[in-house]
Amino acid sequence: MIDDLYSARILRLAANLPHAGRLAAPQGTGERVAKLCGSRATVDVVLDAGGRVSEFAQDVKACALGQAAAGVLGEAVIGATAIEIQTARDATLAMLKSGGEGPEGRFEGLRALKQVADYPARHASTLVAIEATLEAVARAGDPAIRPDTALRRAEA
C-alpha cells in the first residue's frame, strides 16, 4: 500500500522543485513546520500592484509528499492571487480530510496527492509549502489571508 502512496508520479513531482532557493529582497516570507515529521518550508514572495505573486522562491526540506506538493505549487503560483492560493489550500485540506476532489484551475495538480487522504500522519507535510506561501503573501501585504488554520487542522 505504501507503494501506492509514493507512486512514480509523486516521486517525479518531488524531484522537480521549481523556484528552489530564496529571494534576495522578498516583500514577505513565510515558514511552516509539520510537527509530526519535521517537514519544513520557507517561502519568499513579491506581489505585483494587483496583489498577484510576481516572484516566488521556496526552500523545502520535506518528505517526498511535501516535496511533491511544493513542486506543484512552484509550477503554478506565479500570477496567482492570495484568494486563489487560499482556495487551493482549502480544497486540498478538504481532499485530505473529507473526501473532496481537490483544487481546480491552476492548482489542480495537487490532486495527484489525493491518496494521501488515507495517511493522516502525512497531511501536515503535504500542506507545509502552501501554508508557508499563504503566510508570505499575508506578510507581503494581504492581511485578510489566514495561513495557519489548515496546518493546525491537518495536525489535529
User: Residue 58's beta-bridge partner residues?
Assistant: 20, 43
Residue with more model confidence, 5 or 57 = 57
The C-alpha angle with vertex 127 and arms to 152 and 105, in degrees rounded to 5, equals: 125
pLDDT value of position 1: 43
Average pLDDT over residues 47-55: 94
Residue whose cell numbers read 509539520 = 34
Taking the model in full, what pTM does it have?
0.86
pLDDT value of position 143: 57
pLDDT tens digits, residue range 68-114?
Answer: 999 999 999 999 999 999 999 999 999 999 999 999 999 999 999 99
Let me know how long the chain is.
156
pLDDT tens digits, residue range 84-97?
Answer: 999 999 999 999 99
The string of DSSP codes covering 55-86 is EEEEEEE--HHHHHHHHHHHHH-TT-BHHHHH
Q: Average per-residue pLDDT in the chain?
A: 87
pLDDT tens digits, residue range 126-147?
Answer: 999 999 999 999 999 855 555 5
The C-alpha angle with vertex 114 and arms to 112 and 116, in degrees rounded to 5, equals: 110
pLDDT at 56 over 80: yes
